[in-house]
Amino acid sequence: RQDAERKAEEEKEAAILMQVEERRKEDEARAAEEEVERLKREEEVRVQHENERQVEKDKEEELVAKMEQIERENAERLKREKEEADQFKQAEEERKEHGARAARLKQEEEETARQDAERKAEEEKEAAILMQ
């Protein structure tokens, strides 16, 4: 009877030990799964942060490119405006020179006409004297 009780007790202890061992294995498996999930989440977060950094970097590069384009366009516009101002200034100078030339020619024509009138008056005076 004692042997049977001892055997029953040993079987009971063996069953308990097997249950403990089974729980330990389940706990280890669950801990391993949780570790895998944690590592996956960490990797997802790392990839997300990396993607966000790349998006920010791309945005910054795009803004820099836009700013450079605007600077080039402004430089071209300023160059065009300077060329136009220079052309306007040159045309204004030419207009002034033309006006001055025209005024000189008019003055010369008036002087010539005055001299012609004086000469004609002198000739008429001489003709009148000769007629007397």
17-76 confidence digits (pLDDT tens): 999 999 999 999 999 999 999 999 999 999 999 999 999 999 999 999 999 999 999 999
The 3-state secondary structure of the chain, one letter per residue: CHHHHHHHHHHHHHHHHHHHHHHHHHHHHHHHHHHHHHHHHHHHHHHHHHHHHHHHHHHHHHHHHHHHHHHHHHHHHHHHHHHHHHHHHHHHHHHHHHHHHHHHHHHHHHHHHHHHHHHHHHHHHHHHHHHC
Cα separation values, 56 from 4, 46, 63, 64, Å? 76, 15, 10, 12
- Rounded to two decimals, the pTM is 0.48
pLDDT in tens, 73-85: 999 999 999 999 9
What is the per-residue pLDDT for 131?
Answer: 83
